[in-house]
Structure 1
Amino acid sequence: MDFNNRDANQVAKFDSGWQALVNSPELITKEECVATDVSMSDFNFETVIKWFKVCIRLGDKIPDKERDLYTLNLMENMKKSTEEFFSSSQLDYSTLGKIENTFSDMFDELVYPSDLWRKFNSSEKCSGSDDERDIWNLQIVALISIILLLLIIFICVCVWCMKLCKIKKVCEKDCTYDRGRYCCIDENNCPECCEYMKKSGLKFEKTRSELGQNAGSFTTLGKKKNISLTSKSSG
């Protein structure tokens, strides 16, 4: 509709239907917002402002790919309406100033939509949260690794202590202790000890008497070692 060539009846009819749409914003479509050439006057400027505010709200629901074109068309309509209005309005300066500020705020809302800051803050917050979450995850993994390592060390120490205690229990009565090891002086004197030594990889080879001391040699893990042993006193 050409707003510059409308008679009074057409204006009244259109303004009446337009007012009904503004009062029921759910009936306004985005196509009407960008296709309707809105003519603002001293008598309908409040309705026009409501109209554009509804259209701005509709823009928030449009996908990002379509929103840019919609925003440009809506801003073009607003620009044209305000230029015609301010060039012909007879309202006082105070009212015109308020109207100008209102449209300025609406233009700012279109150029800098509220969800832009919300998305930016959300993205920034999510990034920070992800970093913090990664740090916490690394700390948890490190803590679990340390606990597992300590547990493995503890188990190894326990096994070693149990083995040592068993050797002491079996051999301390029938064997000689030298340099932290229990060894048989004579295989016949301590069969249980020697049997355990054999099972443990300590293979008894022979006994001999030299310089008043008994000495035995055995191999540990396939490596031959000679250890001097102090003889036991015979009752």
Structure 2
Amino acid sequence: MTERRPSSQGDATPLPPLNAEDLAERKMRFLFALRSKGVIEAKVLEAMERVDRGLFVKGLFAERAYEDMPLPIGCGQTISQPSVVGLMTQALELGPRDTVLEIGTGSGYQAAILSQIARRVYTIDRHRRLVRDADALFRALNLTNIVTLAGDGSHGLPDQAPFDRIIVTAAAEDPPGPLLAQLKIGGIMVVPVGQSDTVQSLIRVRKTQSGLDYEELRPVRFVPLVEGTATE
């Protein structure tokens, strides 16, 4: 449930292994690319420096982990483009006391970034295999403030609501009503919205005492938000 990337034969060409010097240089370019795309908040950049994206990309595409592009991760899903992860995190205006709900665990990379800033992160995905893999990686990295769940993210997590922040990593036709209902007054939701996979906008919704304020941030392209749970 992450950003869509068209597949092509060229994407599958393996790159030669990186030595330590090349890896360090690639990580430095990675952070520079984030800044050039508008990720400028210090705490977001620090979180993205601490969390190694290379750990969340496996197999044929692992050598491309430090490029600013979405990559396949299995179950027909992708790990989002790093600059989009950074911009979505930045748009949440996170604080250290915030509890966040993420819809669409995917590789776990976005949740890991959020965990560096927020108090607690609940992340839910319809693909059980992705949840298992992400949870194992969170444990290996000792990210103890992330709770992973397999289930229908379109309904949110009412038992743990309300949330200070909600982030949705799949596109809905409109900001989902059940999720807005689980957002605290004063809270923020960041969600891709669009009726097709080619025309989508990243929207920030602020919930106030008087209603909902919507702000369009940028064009994006994400896989659709799907109700129900997957078979794997």
Return the TM-score normalized by structure 2: 0.21
Task: Select the structure that is richer in strand.
Answer: 2
With a CA cutoff of 8 Å and minimum separation of 6, indicate the structure with the bigger relative contact order: 2
Q: If you compute each CA radius of gyration, which structure gives the higher value, 1 or 2?
A: 1
Scaled by the length of structure 1, the TM-score of the pair is 0.21
